[in-house]
Amino acid sequence: MLSSACFFSRCALIILSTLQMIDRVKGQQQQQCSETDYYYEYTECDSTGSRWRVAIPQTPGTCSGLPEPVHGTECTFSCKAGEFLEMSAQQCTQCAAGSYSLGSGIRFDQWDSMPVGFSSMATSMENDPHRDVTCNSSAWLPQGNYLESNRDECTVSLIYAVHLKKQGYVSFDYQYPDNNLEFEFFIQNDQCQEMDQSAENKWLKLTHHGEWATHTVNLKSGTNILYWRTGSVLGTKMVKPVLLKNIQIEGVAYTSECFPCKPGTFSRVPGSSTCEPCPRDTFSDHGASSCTPCNIATQYAEEGSAACKERPPCSKKDYFQIHTPCDPDGKTQIMHKWIEPKICLEGVPGAETLPQSGEREPCPQCNPGFYNDTPTCSPCPPETYSDGIKPCERCPAGTEPILGYEYKWWNVLPSNMKTSCFNVGNSKCDRMKGWEVARDHIHSGAGSSDNDYLILNIHVPGFKLPTSVSSQSLTEFGRITFEFETMCTADCEFYFMMDINRTSTTVVQSWEKTNKRQTYTHVMTKNASVSYTWTFQRTNQPSAVRRYVNDVAKIYSITVTNALDGVSSGCQACALSTLPSSSACVPCPPGHYIDTHSSKCVECPPNTYLAPHSAAGPDACQPCGPSSKSDKDHRQCYSDCQFTHTDGNVTLTFNFSLLESAVSLMNSPKFTSKGTKYFHVFNISLCGEQGRLAMCTDNVTDLSVSNSGRENDEGPSAVKSFICQSTIIPASGRGFHTALSSQSINLADTFLGATVDDSLAGIKASPELFPQTSKKVPDINFFYRSLEATSSCESGRSAVVTLRCNPDKSANGQLLVPSLCSEGTCDGCTFHFLWESSGACPICTERDYHLIEGVCKGGHQDMLYVWTEPKQCIGGVALPEKKTLPCEGMEYWIRFGAGIGTFTAVLLISLTCYFWKKNKRLEYKYSRLVMSANKECEMPAADSCAVMEGENEGEMDDDVVYSKPSLFRKLKAIASKGNGEKYENMQLNSSQSKELVWS
């Protein structure tokens, strides 16, 4: 049974035969076809691997007598590069001069317009059909020598379909300069309808910033659909696009014609597989076999030009200023040089002349670690040091040189630094310097156009720690510090990048437009070979002229510590070996400082940490903040999850071990201007043994690192600190295979302490951001700081995590950011977090519960303990169990007390009645005595007149005078003292008168 290809091939032959018979019938009325009236094509291969060559008229029906179909070449037949298949003879023939061929391949190297077969398809990052309209203008754009991707967050795919008769490959050059961009390439083959997820679907990653990289992927026979897909991670700023050029595909069946050389190129001999660019100051047209020289006197042309240009009059933009190297007399001067290649004309109206050279002046001093024995400073020998002025001296015994680089004088470019110029579209600035030295600084050069990358690079082969520092448990092997400024009128950008072990270039920090003079420091946490690169670009828009030549970046100083091949500007004390016969320096154990008097290692006191880059002596050990302790190596301070607060006589004890595990906070979703959804995720490690850290990763340009590698901090973009932040873009609806995590930043790598106060070490907690309803348990603030400076935070970032007791929350609780500042920060430098949790409550003590006594029933009484509401404590002491006690003894004492009370009441009533009766009796006697004195005894001397009838003296004496009063008489006297005072006085007078009469 015939295959479908064979069936259609036979059908085509039948149809063609029928047409030819019709032509023969009409041949008497039509002229015979000439070779220019038709062309040859091959039919599809049948199941036997054969095909037919047929003639196809240029215009059907205009002539007759087409050649008969004949057997064609084998389906796998193809010509070599530089040849094409001549269909008449079905033989390979060399291409003529001025043209080229790839044999069984095709190449796309001219991008003045989009070649036939290529198409762009733009979609929104979110799979929302209502948002796709915002991406209609996003596409890959031809830029002459290369193809440029879109500059927004839309996903744009460049698509090309090709049919291969045999296995082949696709190769292309690309540039991937921006980590905020994602770039994916994959292939869809008709033999596997789904996308191949193995070698044919591979994320691409720029290996060196500012350089083109080549990628090659094998192709299967059949139809292959090639996809280049890119899009910005976030559309928060103008990203640098991906660039493509020189796309070449091998594996097509044959080439039936040669391709003419494009303008600006030529092929001088037949059988060429490529066309060469025309040299400088020459040009060529389409299909040229040689280049035509320009009129050098008035014209110029760049390499690979299609036409000559008129030379303009020279201007200030055509020359630049340099400082000459020191001459043998130690002098230097300012000179001006024309930018090469020189394209301007001198001596014409309006032309500028080259300024005269400046006066010769003394060269600047040598940089620290170098000495001036030649016009160019030389590095000091090993084990010696110099400040750049004095001769090199050997370090004294018990000390060692401090290795590193310290460049602050720029007369010549240091030997371990290099400078270059790079342009994304061509190589017209490759031979130019990117940076120029200028005595007290080094600045960006002129370049050939405004979008050139001006590159300055320094290579450090590794780091060598001082012998007084142990490499165990060390997190800092060295650091680089540089002072710079930028002055721009356009959209310039200044990059600082690093390349570890020549694997990939990572952008560490970048600055846009004008930036005042400032210092930036980066810490190296791995002992590896590293290249640091500074790149300045005046504008990222395609440009062939220099309009912003006065936009400049300046670097004043560069310092690298602990460089393996560094020089020394001084010496530092080191610990001596314990062996008497040895005087070599030995490293101090972790957490030990050097005693300058004895040159011995001394361990830092408890709860202090060894400050990096500090002087020798006990001052190198800095105390940890409140409620913090140092790890065993005295590298950092951390919280051990224990906290105590005393207010008056009340002491609250907290145990935050339930909050020990790292926690994540994802804020509410945000959307870019084109609808891309993203989140900010904060990872926080509050406390724990030895200061465990949270980690944030970046998988946009780091997909070659496995998940296990990211967990072990193997990726160059991983960030480990107490608090870090990542930007997450979900995978749903975007067409990519995984969620993207990018822009990881360190917010807190130093723990300052925990306190109930609102400020610590200059950082304020801002309690008004999180209003508190109850103040029975105070909020506890954890203060952190990161010393990594940014363009908006020169002193680094800081963070405050506020713990609040909330018994209604779970142990993990809820982590919040201020409602007024959904990004976690209101000023971009200080981040605030509120962590409400039951795990933030104090430990329960006996004062947190009270006793409730039940009523006595049946001789028993319940004793119940309950928590004081609202309960705001966890753990600690347990609530005592319920007790039941007998209550008989208590009823006896109650009855006894009631009896005593009753007896006392009766006694008081009886005494009251007795005293009242006695008082009445005394009043009566007193009134009789007064009456007798006024009527019967007018003579004062008659004492006896006070005696009433029927009363004898003895009885009266017994009533008034008491020799030995009894208890009741004493009570009677006390009770009647006030009422009978006059009577007693009178009785006393009467007794005295009586005594007088008897005498």
**Confidence (pLDDT) at 265:** 93
pLDDT tier at 189, thresholds 50, 70, 90: confident
d(CA 523, CA 613): 12
**Confidence (pLDDT) at 991:** 43
How crowded is residue 780: how many other Cβ atoms within 10 Å of its Cβ?
A: 23
Assigned token pair, 899: 């009896």
**Confidence (pLDDT) at 992:** 43
**Confidence (pLDDT) at 949:** 45
3 state DSSP class of 429: coil
d(CA 444, CA 453): 10
Residues 6+ apart with CB under 8 A from 398: 573, 574, 576, 583, 585, 599
Helix axes 967-975, 888-935, angle to 10 degrees: 70
Q: What is the pLDDT of residues 536-549, one digit of tens each?
A: 999 888 777 788 88
Q: What is the mean pLDDT of the chain?
A: 80
> Mean of the pLDDT values across residues 66-76?
82
What architecture is the 105-252 domain classified under in CATH?
Sandwich (2.60)
Q: Picking from 266-280, 385-399, 492-506, 571-585, which range would have the lowest pLDDT averaged per residue?
A: 571-585
Strands (E), 704-791: 719-721, 723-729, 740-748, 750-755, 759-760, 763-764, 780-786
Q: Which of 108, 117, 104 is nearest to 165 (CA)?
A: 104
Q: Comparing 105-252 with 325-353+362-570, is the CATH topology the same?
A: yes
Strand partners of residue 805: 837
d(CA 612, CA 635): 9
pLDDT tier at 102, thresholds 50, 70, 90: confident
Does 193 have pLDDT greater than 50?
A: no
Determine the CATH number of domain 325-353+362-570. 2.60.120.200
**Confidence (pLDDT) at 955:** 44
What's the one-letter identity of residue 712? Answer: N
List, as one string, the DSSP characters of 862-888: EEEEEEPSSP--BSSSPPPPPEEEE-H
Does 143 have pLDDT greater than 80?
A: yes
**Confidence (pLDDT) at 62:** 78
Q: Break the chain into its structural domains and give their ranges.
A: 105-252, 325-353+362-570, 573-624, 656-699+717-841, 849-886
pLDDT tier at 920, thresholds 50, 70, 90: confident
3 state DSSP class of 248: strand
**How many whole angstroms from its chain centre is CA 683?**
11
Q: Which of 625, 613, 854 is nearest to 759 (CA)?
A: 625
d(CA 211, CA 176): 9
d(CA 659, CA 805): 12
Q: What is the pLDDT of residues 332-381, one digit of tens each?
A: 888 888 888 888 999 899 999 998 888 888 888 899 999 987 667 889 99
Q: Which of 306, 440, 290 is nearest to 365 (CA)?
A: 440
SS3 string, 651-667, reads EEEEECHHHCCCEEEEC
Q: Which of 283, 307, 306 is nearest to 293 (CA)?
A: 283
Q: Which of 85, 29, 30 is nearest to 57 (CA)?
A: 30
Contact 846, 877 (CB under 8 A): yes
pLDDT tier at 691, thresholds 50, 70, 90: low
Does 118 have pLDDT greater than 90?
A: yes
Does 614 have pLDDT greater than 90?
A: no
Assigned token pair, 191: 């033999």
Assigned token pair, 216: 């090659």
Residues 6+ apart with CB under 8 A from 148: 140, 141, 142, 241, 242, 243, 542
Q: Which of 734, 740, 749, 730 is nearest to 698 (CA)?
A: 740
SS3 string, 37-86, reads HEEEEECCCCCCCCCEEEEEECCCCCCECCCCCEECCCCCCCCCCCEEEE
Assigned token pair, 276: 């060469």
Strand partners of residue 650: 647
d(CA 920, CA 644): 76
Number of helices followed by number of strands (H, E) in the chain: 6, 71
What architecture is the 656-699+717-841 domain classified under in CATH?
Distorted Sandwich (2.70)
Assigned token pair, 420: 């270059």
d(CA 16, CA 60): 12
Residues 6+ apart with CB under 8 A from 489: 548, 550, 551
**Confidence (pLDDT) at 68:** 84
3 state DSSP class of 532: strand
**How many whole angstroms from its chain centre is CA 328?**
50
**Confidence (pLDDT) at 281:** 93
> Mean of the pLDDT values across residues 697-724?
60
d(CA 702, CA 179): 10
List, as one string, the DSSP characters of 585-639: EEPPPTTEEEETTTTEEEEPPTTEEE-TTPPSSGGGEEEP-TT-EE-TTSS-EE-
Q: Picking from 589-593, 635-639, 730-734, 862-866, which range would have the lowest pLDDT averaged per residue?
A: 730-734
Pick the more confident residue, 266 or 63: 266
pLDDT tier at 320, thresholds 50, 70, 90: confident
d(CA 535, CA 435): 10
Does 25 have pLDDT greater than 70?
A: no
d(CA 441, CA 443): 7
**Confidence (pLDDT) at 488:** 94
Largest CA distance in the chain: 203
**Confidence (pLDDT) at 844:** 95
Contact 278, 256 (CB under 8 A): no
Q: Which of 538, 533, 324 is nearest to 438 (CA)?
A: 324
Contact 414, 446 (CB under 8 A): no
Pick the more confident residue, 681 or 701: 681
pLDDT tier at 124, thresholds 50, 70, 90: low
What's the one-letter identity of residue 453? Answer: Y
**Confidence (pLDDT) at 709:** 45
> Mean of the pLDDT values across residues 138-162?
87
**Confidence (pLDDT) at 54:** 87
Does 511 have pLDDT greater than 50?
A: yes
Q: Picking from 747-761, 810-824, 910-924, which range would have the lowest pLDDT averaged per residue?
A: 910-924
Assigned token pair, 135: 């991406």
